[in-house]
């Protein structure tokens, strides 16, 4: 049985959004080359049929801009249409009732799951999927499952500590420059 918005599909969605990263200050795209895309698919344990990489990239780009900029009229949401083309659910009799099986054309099986997970999150937990706030150095996304809904970084290790260190440095620097200004203007 396929459960829409299952944890596995949320991870897949997040992994897809995070295929673009800053490495050494430069933007990179793991789906840019066929070899990189194939390696990424293996990491997702995607042993299904070969995926349409062009569609993976364009769907990812659309999802990234929807998550960053919100959606509605003129948001470019129509860019998701190819990912869900031909997608349906098939009812099947099970021991305890009806199971719904996701049916997709082979080449867009992965993007369809990612888009369905995004849609499910939008409806059940709006705002929980968002961009890392270390926007100067990081282009990653996070899904906040915390009770307080206060997560700001893709990870504390990667961005949280760096941002804290930078704020500490800036506080020290401005305290130092205040001292210098005070020293300079204090009558002797």
Nearest-angstrom CA–CA distance, 64 and 129: 10
Q: How far is the CB of 142 from Zn ion (least distance, A)?
A: 8
Mapped onto helix, strand or coil, the DSSP state of residue 111 is: helix
Q: Which of residues 1-30 bind Zn ion (CB under 5 A)?
A: none
Nearer to Zn ion, 150 or 186 (CB): 150
Is position 111 an interface residue for Zn ion (rule: CB under 5 A)?
Answer: no
Interface with Zn ion includes 154 (CB under 5 A)? yes
Where do the H-state alpha helices sit in the chain? 7-17, 34-43, 53-69, 81-84, 109-124, 161-185
Distance CA(136)–CA(32), nearest Å, equals 22
Query: Which CB contacts under 8 angstroms, 24+ apart, belong to 85-93?
Result: 87/112, 87/116, 89/2
Contact residue for Zn ion among 132, 141, 151, 163 (CB under 5 A): 132
- Using CB under 5 A, pick the residue from 16, 138, 151, 163 that binds Zn ion: 138
Output the smallest distance, CB 68 to Zn ion, in A.
14
Determine the size of the site formed for Zn ion (CB under 5 A): 6
Q: Which residues contact 76 (CB under 8 A, 6 or more apart)?
A: 62, 65, 66
Taking the least distance from each CB to Zn ion, the nearer of 17 and 53 is 17
Among 134, 141, 151, 163, binds Zn ion (CB under 5 A): 134
Task: Decide: is 140 part of the binding site for Zn ion (CB under 5 A).
Answer: yes
Closest contact distance (angstroms) between CB of 24 and Zn ion is 15
Q: Which of 50, 59, 47 is nearest to 20 (CA)?
A: 59
Residue 41 CA: distances (Å) to CA of 5, 30, 53, 117, 177: 19, 10, 10, 17, 51
Q: Is 159 in the site for Zn ion (CB under 5 A)?
A: yes
What's the min distance (Å) between Cβ of 140 and Zn ion? 5
**Contact residues: Zn ion, CB under 5 A:** 132, 134, 138, 140, 154, 159
């Amino acid at each position: 049985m396929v459960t829409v918005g299952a944890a596995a599909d949320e991870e897949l969605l997040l992994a897809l959004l995070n295929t673009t990263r800053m490495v050494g200050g430069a933007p990179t795209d793991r789906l840019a080359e066929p070899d990189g895309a194939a390696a990424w698919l293996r990491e997702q344990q995607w042993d299904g049929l070969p995926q349409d990489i062009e569609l993976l990239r364009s769907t990812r780009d659309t999802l990234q801009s929807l998550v960053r900029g919100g959606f509605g009229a003129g948001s470019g949401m129509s860019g998701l249409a190819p990912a869900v083309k031909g997608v349906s659910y098939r009812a099947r009799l099970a021991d305890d009732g009806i199971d719904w099986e996701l049916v997709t054309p082979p080449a867009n099986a992965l993007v369809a799951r990612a888009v369905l997970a995004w849609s499910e999150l939008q409806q059940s937990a709006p705002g929980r999927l968002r961009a890392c706030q270390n926007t100067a150095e990081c282009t990653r996304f996070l899904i906040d499952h915390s009770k307080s809904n206060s997560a700001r970084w893709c990870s504390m290790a990667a961005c949280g500590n760096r941002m804290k260190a930078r704020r500490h440095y800036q506080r020290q620097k401005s305290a130092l420059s205040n001292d210098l200004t005070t020293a300079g203007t204090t009558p002797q």
